[in-house]
Structure 1
Amino acid sequence: MRRNTSICLLAVGHACVDVYQGAVAALIPFFVAERDYGYAAASGIVLAASLLSSVAQPVFGVLTDRWAMPWLLPAGTLLGGVGIALSGLSGSYGLTLTFVAISGIGVAAYHPESARVARRAGRGSHSAMSWFSLGGNLGFALAPIMVSAVIGHGSLSRTPLLVLPALVGAALCVPTLRMLGRRASDASGTASAEGTDDVASFVKLSLAVVFRSVVFVGLSTFISLYAQQRTQGGAAAGTVALFLLFLGGAVGSVLGGFLADRYDRVRVSRWSYLLSIAAVTGVIHVPGPAVFLFVVLTSVGLYVPFSLQVTLGQDYLPSRVGTAAGVTLGLTVSVGGLISPLLGRLADATSLRTALTPLIAMPALSWLLFRALPEPAAPGRERLRPSAGRENRSPEPACPRENAQAPTTYGHVGGSPGPTEKDDAYGA
């Protein structure tokens, strides 16, 4: 019960942070309408949110591998909210980019430590991590609704109201960290697991996440404007398309955890990327209202592997789970934002449909990389070969769902046994 409570609180807090990642894309049509930005200028705002975040998240990951920094959860949440709240107050493009970048730094500070805390709270369960990811995806999905409700009948001067989720999320961090601090004291005799880092597999995984990021961020930046063109609808059609893109991610995250408890994570991810190839093609080339169906399929296909890639990265680098989370949740995901201005420039020079067409190749590249990845075994068990089927697997699951005394690497570097100063910090 305590584990479930911790995961639920972390999931809600995750939603309160990721609503600001979704808010950047949701604000794009309002910046275009109110300030007359072109495609390239609008995508530059997404770049501002992604650029510093892409560099900062691995840095925060390295830091959290050495020291516990539970205060990053409330601090990052507040910083993410304040940046978005201030983004609409100035007509200056430079100040808008600055405030959006500040929000990106806050999001970057939150994710590596929160992924470590979620892994620790869920005791390595794939389902637990998928519920934690679900919170973030719901935050993404609610962002267009929140932005539309606050700004849709007014102007960008109302953006300070968008700070409210950050206040809620920061408040939820306090009982969560206290609960985990008490658990660390109760488990003072539990040894942590050791593992060997598989850097080669981690690099391949990271490249796969990069390609996933390019297609998802590219679509989230332009799907609202593109849906308006394809359906001949107004702003409402764009809001619905963006909402479905994010909501499908919530479904995909839970489905990914469910499937990973029955099949290995690598195989599930391969299936998902195959689905994504067809779905992205439909989004870009199928006209009319059917585009909404393909938006949902695309979102599900891209998000089934999302939480699985986080745990895969942590299992490939068991001695550096903070760094792994910083890369899989940060650097590789944010690369998509770096590509968005190129798509914007291409759209300005040709058409939005032409600019989005290369995105079809991205899930195909991710699928190819996953074909070369092994499924990590639990500590002490043999790692599966990339081509291994279910018949070659160990009879027990790689990450048992129910084992309160299962050894973990949460909060420890190098597999040192027993509680450390990182455990004590969560009770601070």
Structure 2
Amino acid sequence: MNTSRWRMTVLVAGHAVDDLYQGAVPAVVPFLVAERSYSYLAAAGITVAATLLSSVVQPLFGVLTDRRPLPWLVPAGMTVAGAGIGLCGLGDSYLLTWLAIALSGLGVAAYHPEAARLARRVARDGHVGMSWFAVGGNAGFALGPVLVTPVLALGGLGASPLLMIPALMGGVVTLVAMRGVRGADAVEARVGQDDWRQFGRLTVVVIARSMVTFGLSTFLALWVAQRAGGLIAGSVALVLLFGIGALGTLLGGVLAGRWGRIRVVRVSYALAVPSVAGIAIAPGPAVYLFVALAALTLYAPFSLHTTLGQDYLPNRLGTASGMTLGLAVSVGGLAAPVVGALASATTLQWALLSLLVLPVVAWVAARGLAEPARCAF
């Protein structure tokens, strides 16, 4: 295996480990609700903890990596993300739990901009290569509930330190693999005008998509547990959402090579509207079908957001990555308390139905997108 392929493999696997801890947050929520009797609003606050600090600092990490390559942030961010999740179950204090989850969000923020820059470089500007990198993150989301559910089901919240193990192992492997990376190897000179107008429109698309996916991931397990019976049924729905989402991300890269990125983005969000509606309306186990459809339609554009953002801002790859993978995504998590408050005031079903407006917003905003003037593909 040549050096580039080895590094890409490590980046894909590392992205899976890092985003495992993002996927762990919604999986931890039902156990916090069951063991500590948290309300819907308090549960949503846990999601805010994972996204608030990340949403503020991730673009700053992007700006930093535009000025100077910082490959050490990749293993360091991954390790901190795992440490935060590992500490979240210790003690009964809501504040300490919130701070531990926030620490995990900080680690995620440090990881993504530099990792996305390196992946774009190693993938040599290929749709499918970047899709694989994004698939790594989606797979990590899917593995979050797979890891969290048996550990906490058997050992309770006190067993949460065991969840640090993948981050510690992944951090060591990534550190070794990235040891030879220098500035010239990590940063490729780009030319062309930065199109901030198109990038701003893309940011609206990404935020709307993020809000609906965070809303679903935060409350899907609780909703399916009510509809299909039990915490295990809810965890299965999360695994399906993130697992099918990983396949959807790879499919999006393949389809973009045939149809173009913009068309894939527009069609995906149009089809997401009935898919999300079905989750809130479908009876019993039929909800799983709509979870799968929503996963395909909401995740197919995921890697395309990043490559479009990087092509709209060809001279600021770190900033573009920090925004599309960071700020815009994390800000979506801040909508979770609104959904939680609506669920407390009405029902969880009506709260999920309220999410329908978001793929509509994404579709409308995407209609104004155009392929970048300078496109690397």
1:203 is aligned, of 186, 200, 225, to 200
Contact 2:245 2:300 in 1 (8 A): yes
Alpha-carbon distance in 2 for matches of 1:177, 1:10: 9
Q: Determine the structure 1 residue equivalent to 2:70.
A: 69
The offset of 1:259, in angstroms, is: 1.0
SS at match of 1:280: helix
Say yes or no: does 1:373 pair with 2:374.
Answer: no
Q: Determine the structure 2 residue equivalent to 1:127.
A: 128
1:2-17 matches, cutoff 5 A: 2-17=3-18
Give CA deviations for 1:10-67 in whole Å, capped at 9, x if unaligned. 0100011000001111000000000000100011000011100001111111111111
Query: Where do 5+ consecutive residues of structure 2 fail to align?
Result: none
1:158-197 matches, cutoff 5 A: 158-178=159-179, 180-181=181-182, 184=185, 192-197=189-194
Say yes or no: does 1:85 pair with 2:86.
Answer: yes
Residue identity over aligned pairs, in percent, reads 53
Give CA deviations for 1:212-259 in whole Å, capped at 9, x if unaligned. 01100000000001001222x111110111111111111011101111
Q: Determine the structure 2 residue equivalent to 1:353.
A: 349
SS at match of 2:334: helix
One-letter code of the match for 2:156? S
Alpha-carbon distance in 2 for matches of 1:52, 1:184: 30
Contact 1:10 1:176 in 2 (8 A): no
1:327-346 matches, cutoff 5 A: 327-346=323-342
One-letter code of the match for 1:97? W
Alpha-carbon distance in 2 for matches of 1:10, 1:268: 25
Q: Determine the structure 2 residue equivalent to 1:251.
A: 247
TM-score under structure 1 normalisation?
Answer: 0.85
The offset of 1:267, in angstroms, is: 0.7
**Greater Rg over alpha carbons, structure:** 1
1:215-254 matches, cutoff 5 A: 215-231=212-228, 233-254=229-250
Alpha-carbon distance in 2 for matches of 1:282, 1:355: 13
Alpha-carbon distance in 2 for matches of 1:12, 1:179: 18
The offset of 1:278, in angstroms, is: 1.3
One-letter code of the match for 1:211? A
CA pair 59-193 structure 1, distance change in 2 beyond 3 A: closer
Give CA deviations for 1:371-396 in whole Å, capped at 9, x if unaligned. 101112446xxxxxxxxxxxxxxxxx
Q: Determine the structure 2 residue equivalent to 1:102.
A: 103
Alpha-carbon distance in 2 for matches of 1:67, 1:268: 34
One-letter code of the match for 2:349? R
Alpha-carbon distance in 2 for matches of 1:261, 1:8: 22
Q: Determine the structure 2 residue equivalent to 1:116.
A: 117
Give CA deviations for 1:341-371 in whole Å, capped at 9, x if unaligned. 1111111111100111111111111111111
1:12-91 matches, cutoff 5 A: 12-91=13-92
Alpha-carbon distance in 2 for matches of 1:272, 1:142: 24
SS at match of 1:201: helix
Contact 2:190 2:315 in 1 (8 A): no
The offset of 1:322, in angstroms, is: 0.6
Alpha-carbon distance in 2 for matches of 1:160, 1:369: 42
Give CA deviations for 1:133-171 in whole Å, capped at 9, x if unaligned. 111111100111100121112210000000011012212
SS at match of 1:347: helix
The offset of 1:176, in angstroms, is: 3.0
The offset of 1:183, in angstroms, is: 8.3
One-letter code of the match for 1:206? T
The offset of 1:280, in angstroms, is: 0.4
* Runs of 4+ off more than 3 Å: 178-183
Contact 2:69 2:182 in 1 (8 A): no
TM-score under structure 2 normalisation?
Answer: 0.97
1:214 is aligned, of 186, 211, 216, to 211
Alpha-carbon distance in 2 for matches of 1:262, 1:159: 44
SS at match of 1:169: helix
Query: Where do 5+ consecutive residues of structure 1 fail to align?
Result: 380-397, 400-428
The offset of 1:125, in angstroms, is: 0.8
Say yes or no: does 1:279 pair with 2:275.
Answer: yes
Contact 1:6 1:179 in 2 (8 A): no
Q: Determine the structure 2 residue equivalent to 1:395.
A: none
The offset of 1:264, in angstroms, is: 1.1
**What root-mean-square deviation, in Å, do the aligned CA atoms of Structure 1 and Structure 2 show?**
1.6
Alpha-carbon distance in 2 for matches of 1:258, 1:61: 27
